[in-house]
Amino acid sequence: MKTYVGERAGDGSVRLFVTSGDTRRPLGDEPASTSEALDYGYDGAGPANLARVILTDHFRRSPKWWLYRAFQQQFIAAFDHEESWTISELEIAAWYIAVKIPGDAEQR
> What's the whole-number mean pLDDT along residues 69-83?
96
User: Is the pLDDT confidence value at 107 over 50?
Assistant: no
Give the range among 13-17, 29-33, 81-85, 88-92 with minimum mean pLDDT: 29-33
62/73 Cα distance (integer angstroms): 18
Q: Where are the alpha helices (DSSP H) in 7-108?
A: 45-59, 65-74, 89-99
For 55, the domain range is 2-107
pLDDT at 87 over 50: yes
- Number of domains, the chain: 1
Q: Give the C-alpha distances (Å, rounded to integers) separating 39 from 11, 20, 75, 103, 107.
A: 13, 22, 12, 28, 24
Task: Report pLDDT for 28.
Answer: 78
pLDDT at 20 over 70: yes
